[in-house]
Amino acid sequence: MTANNQVAEASVKYLAEAAGQTLPAGYKQTEVGVIPIDWELSTIGSYTTWMSGGTPSRSNDEFWNGSIPWISGSTLKSFEISTSDQFLSEVAVTAGSKMAPLGAILLLVRGSALHNEIRAGMVVEPVAFNQDVKALVPAKGLDARFLTFFILGMESELLKLVSSAGNSAGVLDTELVKNFRLFLPPHHEQTAIANALSDVDALINELEKLIAKKQAIKTATMQQLLTGRTRLAEFSGKLKVENGELKNPNHSQLSTLNSQLKKGYKQSELGEVPEDWNLMTIDDVANFSGGSQPPRSTFISSPKAGYIRLIQIRDYKTSEYETYIPELFARKKCNSTDIMIGRYGPPIFQILRGIEGAYNVALIKASPKEAINQEYLYYVLKSEKLFALMDMLSQRSSGQTGVELPALKAYLLPLPSKLEQTAIATILSDMDADIQTLQQRLSKTRHIKQGMMQELLTGRIRLISGKLTVENG
């Protein structure tokens, strides 16, 4: 991260001098720590007016399906608030809800989401809001975007103010929020900070859109290649011509004409499939092995000689709950390239890989038989059509939802030669690698933004001209 001579970075000096109880130049000591000398220490409540919303009667059809977006905890998810999935009529606003002023900050104060995150956004289009949301109207001298970033940037501290209601919903104590300290720079610096953070948000949004686009392209590509609706050139039977001449370095022109005449399709139980593909069930091409559950009394949370990691579904998302068991209890093992299936949900039928260890009963290992390549099997199991079937069947069962293994084994698929399988899997793997690179860049950018918020919103880094440049992600 560079500033092109536009940012005065006081962070290192700030921390070093504060530790030595010497105030850095341009800073002052307050009851909550050191802040820039031209910043004010105040509270959120001192610079905001609070408004409460409401919910019109659900039994009155005249109140609903109008043109005014109605914001609740489930729709308060973006920085700029402009629309919703529910709409009120004008009469409903006066009968039970309230309009939020433009530039107000909507803050979720009641809802299950508060156990995990703070939700806040700035109103940019006319909207109404319900009783679980408060509208904070900034006073003169407080930039609405700055306050929104400040609230989101102080998430970890604000979450400490959340308690549980009787129905397990989280409740954010509004009086404590009003008394929450607010570091307030001069208005021009508030605007500069909001602009800098908005620029990073714009980059994050563009990366999210690009990832979504590439994932959609990959999904469509999988559908085409795994069903044979689209064939790769070298397997379609189309002649390769360069500079007007037929090219095949390994065969004579005659054998080329005989072997590379355009291949057709044949009718099957699955509809039209390539004539050189075979119909097989997943049971024909894969073995499945369920995991085992060691005694909980053997669990430890740190690596140790003679122990092995116990893999559970959640471990593919976070390493926060790593568990280890004695080697002698490791009856079912997998390596990082093995294909693992999440037996239970939600969502069920997650196709996972990337961890080595012993796996528990919530996981199934899928191993390829002779007819199929491992990478091709991985993409077959990740197809949307197969997931939809497994998801539908699991919802029909009583009790805990889980993978219907007999239905999975009976699933019919068209199967190309192993050479074509390899070519298809390589293309899809390359697309996955491209998406993963973008996801890593997105994660890095989000991390940079969090660091910027902590530094900018507390004055540890000052913006002089109002511009900040982020390089290399």
Total residue count of the chain as it appears in this document: 473
Structure tokens of 100? Answer: 């939020």
CATH of 43-184, one of 3.40.50.300, 3.90.220.20, 2.40.30.110, 3.90.1150.10: 3.90.220.20
Query: Alpha-carbon distance 358 to 161, whole Å?
Result: 40
d(CA 345, CA 339): 17
DSSP result, 313-343: GGGGT-STT-EEEEGGG--SEE-TTSEEEE-
Q: Is pLDDT at 23 greater than 90 in this prediction?
A: no
The pLDDT confidence band at residue 8, using thresholds 50, 70 and 90, is very low
**Domains of the chain: which residue ranges?**
1-32+193-234+423-473, 43-184
- The whole-angstrom separation of Cα 423 and Cα 234 is 9
Q: Which of 57, 70, 89 is nearest to 130 (CA)?
A: 70
Between CA 333 and CA 66 the distance in angstroms is 57
CATH code of the region 1-32+193-234+423-473: 1.10.287
pLDDT in tens, 369-382: 999 999 999 999 99
Per residue in 335-347, pLDDT (tens digit) is 999 999 999 888 8
CB 401 within 8 A of CB 394: yes
Is residue 240 within 8 Å of 247, Cβ to Cβ? yes
Q: Rounded CA gap, 314 and 74, in Å?
A: 24
Per-residue pLDDT tens digits for 453-472: 999 999 988 886 445 444 33
Bridge partners of 251? none
Q: Can you read off the two tokens belonging to residue 49?
A: 């007016």
The C-alpha atoms of residue 266 and residue 286 are separated, in whole angstroms, by: 25
Give the pLDDT confidence of 158-217 residue by residue, as tens digits. 999 999 876 678 999 999 999 999 999 999 999 999 999 999 999 999 999 999 999 999
Question: Structure pTM?
Answer: 0.78
Which stretches of 7-122 are DSSP H helices?
11-19, 90-96
Read off the pLDDT band of 21 (50, 70, 90).
low
